[in-house]
């Protein structure tokens, strides 16, 4: 971790959402700190959600615009870095501590880009229940003029800026922003670093979606990546893994108790966050309130058909990312310390269970080839909903035009996905048997 980066971001106010009355804040006391992350890429801290600034030949690009009341200070901070105009603005989601400067920037010529649901929610009078706050519709001049459904890539200066919608997470319109060349990832409010993550129920948020955002982030980062959370100090891969583990564990505990038929009050009383409270439970979102939120989000009936379609598209894209057997992503997952085994999971760890699984479930789509396993070893790691297995085996291989099986040595890597009913299903396997190699779908 770049300690300078951590220290500089660390001292800033945790979240607009901590301020129950925005009017009560003394805006004159706000200061914006500019922290360089890479050539031409900075994070501006202190004026709402963490703002990213990218300077290209063409002008400046901002990710988020802070509060309405802090935009002058933010633009002054931009001017201290570059005299180029702010031409492009990306809103990571609709919340007022991320879009408050939109109108002022649009007036001076910035083009504002956001997910289509962000524009929709900004266009309406809304109420955010958890903080009991009315949020009036934004003025027309503050609304994003370019919207998209799933993702968009901007090419600015020498940078590639990937904007990726992560559905039903903190809200229904969060986008994480990946500066691929600088190796910087902005996680927006899917991550409140230093506290349990706020979930905006009225705006379609869920803990599952937050976990999926982290699953995706784990496939995008390496140990050099600088990660900007929506609120809180700058972070790195180790922080990302630690927080991801907490999210998955708490989600699975709450879900398991809910399946057992425990009530909301009983689940809160069972303290499913207990060991995490000293680290993440000291903010305005206390552990009981947060567990209640997690429960309510699970208890909510299905989101709109629009959201469900977005979730389906995300899962398809995410599965491809996770299952590409990309060495980088796999390395990140394999280096997890120990096994994260959600409560209530079937026993898939260990040779016997894995063999049973193979015998029950494993066959190719065509039935033209199969693996009968005589493993030398199988190593299984479970990370959230995913299990990764590797091993060496003697394979019986049936060639397509021959019914004569023959045996040879192979190495395999298999990815399993936990199903809603708790069973595991092989999503993809890759194996290498001499020259027969490469990932093969087995669904």
Q: Which residues bind Zn ion (CB under 5 A)?
A: 95, 189
User: Between residues 226 and 231, which has the closer beta carbon with respect to Zn ion?
Assistant: 231
* Residue 192 and residue 239 in contact, taking contact as beta carbons nearer than 8 Å: no
Distance CA 358, CA 355 (A): 5
- The least CB distance from residue 300 to Zn ion, in Å, is 18
How far is it, in rounded angstroms, from Cα 301 to Cα 313? 20
Q: Quick check: 205 and 169 in contact, CB under 8 A?
A: yes
Which CB sits closer to Zn ion, 210 or 332? 210
Among 174, 96, 168, 105, smallest CA distance to 137 is for: 96
**Is residue 72 a contact partner of residue 79, using CB atoms and an 8 Å limit?**
no
Closer of 159 and 189 to Zn ion (Cβ): 189
Q: Name the residue nearer to Zn ion (CB basis): 95 or 126.
A: 95
Separation of alpha carbons 56 and 62, rounded Å: 11
Cβ 92 to Zn ion shortest distance, Å: 8
Alpha helices in 92-225 (DSSP H): 96-99, 102-107, 116-122, 207-220
Whose tokens are 């914006």? That residue is 32
For residue 310, the surrounding DSSP H or E stretch is helix 305-323
Residues 216, 220: Cα–Cα separation, whole Å: 7
> d(Cα 24, Cα 85) in Å, to the nearest integer?
32
| Minimum CB–partner distance for residue 93 and Zn ion (Å) | 6
- By beta-carbon proximity to Zn ion, the closer residue of 125 and 403 is 125
Judged by beta carbon, residue 48 or residue 281, the one nearer Zn ion is 48
Distance CA 92, CA 223 (A): 24
Q: To the nearest whole angstrom, how small is the minimum distance from the Cβ of residue 129 to Zn ion?
A: 14
The residue among 187 and 426 lying less far from Zn ion, judged by its C-beta, is 187
> Which CB, 126 or 381, lies closer to Zn ion?
126
Element (H, E) at 415: strand 406-418
To Zn ion, the closest distance from the beta carbon of 12 in angstroms equals 15
- Contact (Cβ atoms closer than 8 angstroms) between residue 207 and residue 298: yes
Nearest to 409 by CA among 421, 422, 397, 393: 393
CB of 204 vs Zn ion, minimal distance in Å = 12
Q: Which is nearer to Zn ion, 90 or 354 (CB)?
A: 90
Which residue has 């398991």 as its token pair?
256
């Amino acid at each position: 971790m770049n300690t300078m980066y951590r220290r500089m971001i660390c001292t800033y106010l945790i979240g607009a959402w901590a301020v129950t009355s925005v009017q009560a804040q003394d805006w004159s006391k706000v200061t914006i700190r500019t922290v360089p992350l890479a050539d031409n890429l900075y994070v501006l801290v202190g004026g709402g959600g963490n703002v990213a600034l990218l300077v290209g030949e063409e002008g400046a690009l901002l990710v988020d615009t802070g509060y309405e009341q802090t935009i002058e200070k933010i633009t002054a901070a931009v001017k201290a870095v570059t005299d180029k105009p702010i031409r492009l603005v990306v809103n990571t989601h609709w919340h007022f501590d991320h879009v408050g400067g939109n109108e002022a920037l649009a007036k001076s010529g910035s083009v504002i880009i956001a997910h289509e649901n962000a524009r929709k929610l900004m266009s309406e009078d809304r109420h955010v229940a958890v903080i009991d706050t009315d949020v009036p519709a934004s003025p027309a001049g503050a609304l994003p003029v370019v919207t998209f459904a799933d993702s968009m890539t901007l090419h600015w200066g020498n940078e590639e800026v990937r904007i990726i919608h992560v559905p039903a997470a903190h809200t229904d319109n969060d986008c994480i922003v990946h500066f691929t060349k600088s190796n910087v990832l902005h996680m927006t409010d899917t991550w409140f670093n230093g506290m349990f993550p706020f979930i905006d129920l009225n705006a379609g948020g869920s803990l599952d979606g937050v976990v999926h955002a982290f699953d995706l982030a784990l496939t995008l980062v390496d140990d050099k990546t600088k990660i900007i959370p929506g609120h809180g100090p700058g972070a790195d891969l180790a922080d990302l893994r630690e927080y991801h583990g907490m999210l998955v564990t708490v989600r699975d505990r709450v879900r398991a108790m809910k399946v057992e038929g425990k009530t909301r009050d009983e689940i809160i009383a069972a303290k499913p966050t207990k060991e995490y409270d000293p680290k993440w439970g000291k903010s305005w979102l206390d552990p009981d309130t947060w567990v209640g939120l997690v429960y309510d989000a699970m208890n909510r009936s299905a989101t709109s058909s629009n959201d469900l379609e977005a979730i389906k598209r995300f899962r398809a894209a995410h599965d491809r990312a996770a299952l590409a057997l990309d060495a980088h992503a796999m390395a990140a997952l394999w280096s997890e310390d120990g096994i994260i085994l959600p409560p209530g999971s079937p026993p898939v760890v260990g040779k016997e269970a894995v063999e049973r699984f193979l015998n029950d479930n494993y066959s190719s789509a065509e039935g033209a080839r199969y693996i009968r396993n005589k493993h030398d070893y199988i190593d299984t790691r479970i990370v959230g909903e995913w299990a990764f297995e590797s091993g060496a085996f003697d394979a019986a291989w049936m060639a397509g035009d021959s019914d004569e099986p023959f045996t040879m040595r192979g190495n395999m890597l298999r990815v399993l996905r936990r199903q809603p009913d708790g069973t595991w299903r092989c999503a993809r396997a890759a194996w290498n048997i001499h020259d027969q190699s490469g990932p093969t779908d087995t669904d």
